[in-house]
């Protein structure tokens, strides 16, 4: 088979790494990819939002399956463009990717189908939002309706902060049209868990759990980022939690989408909070998490291509997912200054150390080759260093040891990824 993967981050490197293990696969292309993905796939210089260009490439090269890694093209309708040309593609159509693309949509869906989530209201204008906030209790959460690189969520402790937030999202339009509407939501407390799943429109298969670390600094301080590190499984995702979510959240979400005439095919990522009143959905994503994929996929025993084909063909009920009985930790090596401002183009040394090390992975996110062919930094999140271990503590020790193998002048990392393991 010939496979095309669309995306360029650590998540896509993890996806390509899993696809490369499949005996069915002869050739992998990745658009646009990065310097690490280039070791496993031929890079195609097309942007993820160039739907027509990508579909034309898939037609010309007779690609058997295209896998969309990123949210923007999914929400923009890339799957519909491929399907209209009769091309096989893994990911939700536009009318289903809205599960991630609009928080107002997903909150209304959860309310209509009684799926546990925070109480909320949708605000359509700054005036409406301000009037609502005057009577609200704090803390309270403001969310831009649309995609905002994971940064459109504001937790406000006071009325003043919330009014500033409305100004930022709805008036100054910091995230563009994403702030045309906002969701104002009840503030919840509890541990967060990420659960990824494969879905074929009707059937859902849950992957092993993971936990992300979204803030830039140690001790969960500093700005929100795309994710600074992950571990899998989450020790807080107990059998009871799993049973609750299977009964009240997972299948109900898939059935709700089907009932709305929006059958979901692809990955549903459930961002859950384990509150005192049981697990609740914080958010849905319509793709693998980044860096959740970097700890979940290395532990998956199935041939990922078989599972993706089953989703596309509607035969997921015939698949059982299997995961290794071990653990994995991913520590992101970022450019100092991320997520605000940082330098790029800095030489990276040591990635070759991973080549012959079983259970260790150096997933590339923001990397490139410069004109001399030297591996250099090319983004905020540069590498995701993943290691497995027999248990979480061993995996964490292994991952942190491996972070020392790689150097670049402005390397920045959190030192407390997986600290929560000690409290389990
Ligand atoms: P989201 O993009 O909706 O997952 O939100 C990003 C982060 O904001 C989450 O991972 C939580 O840490 C936090 N968050 C979102 N919604 C709430 C809420 N209702 N209560 C408390 N924290 C929240
Ligand atoms: N790591 C969180 C996300 O991918 O949205």
pLDDT in tens, 271-319: 999 999 999 999 999 999 999 999 999 999 999 999 999 999 999 999 9
Q: Which of 29, 34, 28, 31 is nearest to 9 (CA)?
A: 34
Distance CA 233, CA 215 (A): 20
Whether a cis peptide bond, with omega within 30° of 0, leads into 32 is yes
Query: For position 424, what pLDDT does the model report?
Result: 85
Q: 2-93 adopts what CATH topology?
A: Rossmann fold (3.40.50)
Ligand (nearest to CA of 117): 1
CATH class for domain 327-423? alpha beta
Query: For position 153, what pLDDT does the model report?
Result: 92
Ligand (nearest to CA of 381): 2
Residue 349 CA to ligand 1 center (angstroms) comes to 36
Does the 119-186 domain belong in CATH 3.90.1660.10?
no
Out of 3.30.470.20, 2.130.10.10, 3.30.70.1290, 3.40.50.2020, select the CATH number for domain 191-318. Answer: 3.30.470.20
| Domain boundaries along the sequence of the chain | 2-93, 119-186, 191-318, 327-423
Whether a cis peptide bond, with omega within 30° of 0, leads into 139 is yes
Distance CA 419, CA 424 (A): 10
For the CA of 230, the nearest atom of ligand 2 = 1
E strands, 89-217, in order = 89-90, 120-123, 140-144, 153-156, 182-186, 191-200, 204-212, 215-217
Q: Helix-strand-coil percent breakdown of the chain, rounded to 5?
A: 35, 30, 35
Residue pair 70/48 in contact by the 8 Å Cβ criterion: yes
Please report which residue ranges of 21-123 form alpha helices under DSSP H.
51-60, 71-76, 78-84, 94-101, 103-112
For 147, residues 6+ apart whose C-beta sits below 8 A from its C-beta are 71, 72, 75, 100, 101, 175, 178
The length of the chain is 424
For the CA of 150, the nearest atom of ligand 2 = 5
Distance (Å) of CA 277 to CA 141, 195, 234, 424? 18, 19, 19, 19
Residue pair 27/42 in contact by the 8 Å Cβ criterion: yes
State whether the beta carbon of 275 lies less than 6 angstroms from ligand 1: no
pLDDT tens per residue across span 82-108: 999 999 999 999 999 999 999 999 999
Q: Whose CA is nearest to atom 4 of ligand 2?
A: 289
Ligand (nearest to CA of 284): 1
Beta bridge partners of residue 11, listed in sequence order: none
As a whole number of angstroms, the longest Cα–Cα distance in the chain is: 61
Residue 282 CA to ligand 1 center (angstroms) comes to 6
State whether the beta carbon of 214 lies less than 6 angstroms from ligand 1: yes
Residue 335 CA to ligand 1 center (angstroms) comes to 25
Query: For position 151, what pLDDT does the model report?
Result: 78
Q: Which of 248, 273, 277, 253 is nearest to 264 (CA)?
A: 253
DSSP reduced 3-state for 306: helix
Residue pair 243/264 in contact by the 8 Å Cβ criterion: no
Ligand (nearest to CA of 145): 1
Q: Which residues line ligand 2 (CB under 6 A)?
A: 150, 212, 227, 285, 289-290, 292
Choice from 145, 155, 165, 226 to test ligand 1 binding pocket (greatest atom count within 8 A of CB)? 155
Average confidence (pLDDT) per 10 residues, the chain, 424 residues: 98 98 98 98 98 98 98 98 98 98 97 98 97 97 91 93 97 95 97 98 98 96 94 98 98 98 98 98 98 98 98 98 98 97 98 96 98 97 98 98 98 97 91
Residue 270 CA to ligand 1 center (angstroms) comes to 12
In the chain, the N- to C-terminal Cα span, in Å, equals 43
Residue 186 CA to ligand 1 center (angstroms) comes to 10
Q: Whose CA is nearest to atom 2 of ligand 2?
A: 289
Q: Whose CA is nearest to atom 14 of ligand 1?
A: 282
State whether the beta carbon of 154 lies less than 6 angstroms from ligand 1: no
Residue 357 CA to ligand 2 center (angstroms) comes to 27
Whether a cis peptide bond, with omega within 30° of 0, leads into 339 is yes
Distance CA 240, CA 58 (A): 44
Decide: pTM greater than 0.95. yes
Distance CA 351, CA 234 (A): 28
State whether the beta carbon of 185 lies less than 6 angstroms from ligand 1: yes
Ligand (nearest to CA of 215): 1
State whether the beta carbon of 199 lies less than 6 angstroms from ligand 1: no
pLDDT tens per residue across span 390-413: 999 999 999 999 999 999 999 999
């Amino acid at each position: 088979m010939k496979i095309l993967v669309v995306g360029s981050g650590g998540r896509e490197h993890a996806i390509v790494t899993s696809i490369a293990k499949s005996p069915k696969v002869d050739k992998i292309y990745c658009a646009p990819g990065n310097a690490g993905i280039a070791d496993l796939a031929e890079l195609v210089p097309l942007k993820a939002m160039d739907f027509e260009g990508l579909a034309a490439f898939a037609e010309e090269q007779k690609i058997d399956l295209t896998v969309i890694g990123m949210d923007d093209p999914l929400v923009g309708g890339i799957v519909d463009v491929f399907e209209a040309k009769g091309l096989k593609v893994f990911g939700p159509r536009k009318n289903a990717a809205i599960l991630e693309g609009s928080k107002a949509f997903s909150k209304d869906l959860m309310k209509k189908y009684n799926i546990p989530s925070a109480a909320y209201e949708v605000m359509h204008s700054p005036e409406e939002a301000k009037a609502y906030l005057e009577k609200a209790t704090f803390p309270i959460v403001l969310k831009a309706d649309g995609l905002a690189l994971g940064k459109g969520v504001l937790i406000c402790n006071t009325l003043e902060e919330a009014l500033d937030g409305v100004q930022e999202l709805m008036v100054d339009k910091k995230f563009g049209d994403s702030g045309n509407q906002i969701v104002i939501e009840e503030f919840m407390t509890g541990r967060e868990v990420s659960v990824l799943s494969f879905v074929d429109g009707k059937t859902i298969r849950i992957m092993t759990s993971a936990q992300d670390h979204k803030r830039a600094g140690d001790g969960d301080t500093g700005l929100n980022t795309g994710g600074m590190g992950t571990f899998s499984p989450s020790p807080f995702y107990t059998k009871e939690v799993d049973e609750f979510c299977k009964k009240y959240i997972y299948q109900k979400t898939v059935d709700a989408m089907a009932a709305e005439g929006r059958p979901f095919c692809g990955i549903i990522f459930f961002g859950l909070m384990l509150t005192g009143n049981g697990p609740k959905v914080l958010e849905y994503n319509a793709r693998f998490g980044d860096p959740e994929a970097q700890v979940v996929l290395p532990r998956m025993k199935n041939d990922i291509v078989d599972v993706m084909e089953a989703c596309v063909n509607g035969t997921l009920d015939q698949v059982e997912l299997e995961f290794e009985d071990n653990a994995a930790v991913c520590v992101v090596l970022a450019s100092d200054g991320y997520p605000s401002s940082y330098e790029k183009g800095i030489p990276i040394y040591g990635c070759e150390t991973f080549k012959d090390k079983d259970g260790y992975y150096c997933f590339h996110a923001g990397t490139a080759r410069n004109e001399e062919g030297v591996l250099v930094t090319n983004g905020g999140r540069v590498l995701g260093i993943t290691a497995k271990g027999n248990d979480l503590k061993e995996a964490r020790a292994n991952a942190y040891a491996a972070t020392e193998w790689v150097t670049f002048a402005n390397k920045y990392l959190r030192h407390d990824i997986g600290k929560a393991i000690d409290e389990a």
